[in-house]
Amino acid sequence: MDTPVRESEVDAVMARLYAEVDASMRPSELGFARPAWQAARIEAGRHADVSADRPFHRRPGPFGRLRSAVTSAPKLLIRKLLRWYVEPLAAEQRAFNISVLRLADDIAAWTAAMHDAEGARREQDEGRRRGELDRLAQEIRDIEQRLATHREEAARVLSQLEDRLPAAERRPADRPDTR
């Protein structure tokens, strides 16, 4: 059974999303203008270039040097013999990595553009709201001014009626008004 979503819950989630996006677009405390995700993007860019030609690593110490001297020549020969088989796979992996990084860059650019557009829209909405509030405040001041004018008029009329009341009370009830 579906439960209705309250508008306040949606507003709370949207506010949290805006805060997270704002925080990710904000410069860090160190003063760099780099979004938080960009360090991971730079690291991924470093590892995107896959190749069959990797350096041989040797272990430290005399045994590592000896092992490296003994195994380097056979490793080099095996690498050359297998290059025709491994390099096409590495080339495909490089192409895939570059495609994924381009997609990530496009998504980042799209997100930044949407963030900027949303910020401009929020500023515009805020300006509209401020203008509407100013207009309503002016309307309230006008109404208060008219109300004060009507109160003054009512007080003046009441004062006139109170002045006439003693004269009306002295007049006999059967005599018509001669005004």
User: Is the overall model pTM greater than 0.75, yes or no?
Assistant: no
Averaged pLDDT for residues 70-94: 88
**Weakest mean pLDDT among 14-23, 25-34, 119-128:** 25-34
Residue 30 pLDDT > 50, yes or no? Answer: no
For 49-80, the pLDDT digits (tens) are: 888 777 777 788 888 888 888 888 888 888 88
Domain ranges of the chain: 41-140
150 confidence band (pLDDT: 50, 70, 90): very high
Look at residue 133 in the predicted model and tell me its pLDDT.
93
Average pLDDT in the chain = 83
Residue 100 pLDDT > 80, yes or no? Answer: yes
Q: Rounded to an integer, what is the distance from CA 148 to the centroid of its chain?
A: 46
